[in-house]
Amino acid sequence: MGHNQELGRRGELLAAQYLTGRGISVLARNWRCPLGEIDLVADDAGTLVAVEVKTRSGLGFGHPAEAVDAVKLRRLHRLASAWCRTAGQPGRRRRVDVIAIVAAPGQEPRIAYFKEVTP
C-alpha cells in the first residue's frame, strides 16, 4: 500500500473515532455506488451524514479542507440521497460534513470538523 493510501486509511479511522467520540454513529465506510464513494456514512440523531475525509501530512499543498470544492460537495449531496434511497429511506434528513486532518509525522494529528457544508 502506498503512502497516500495508508495516510488516507489512517485519516478515515481517526475521523470515525472522532465522530464516535461525539455520539455520532458510523454506519458504513467507503460506501460505493455508480455515482461515486462516500468515505464515511454516519447517523447523527436521525440525520444521515455523508462525511468526506481529507488527510494530509502537512500544509505544503494547502489545508486538506481546501481540496473539497463545490463540484465534490454537489456529488456528495447526490451520494447521500442515493444512500438514503438504497436504504429505503428516501425522505430522511441528510447533510454533508467534512473532516480535514493534518497528520504530520511525529506530531499529534490536528482535526478540523466542518458540519453541514453546502456547495
Q: In the structure grid, which three cell numbers stand for residue 6, read together? A: 495508508
* Cα gap 113→4, rounded to integer Å: 21
Are 28 and 50 a contacting pair, CB within 8 Å?
no
The pLDDT confidence band at residue 1, using thresholds 50, 70 and 90, is low
Q: How does pLDDT run across 19-63, given as a tens digit for each residue?
A: 999 999 999 999 999 999 999 999 999 999 999 999 999 999 999
Q: In the structure grid, which three cell numbers stand for residue 116, read together? A: 453541514
Q: How does pLDDT run across 87-97, given as a tens digit for each residue?
A: 999 999 999 99
The yes or no reply on domain 3-114 and CATH 1.10.10.10 is: no
Are 53 and 111 a contacting pair, CB within 8 Å?
no
- Domain locations in the chain? 3-114
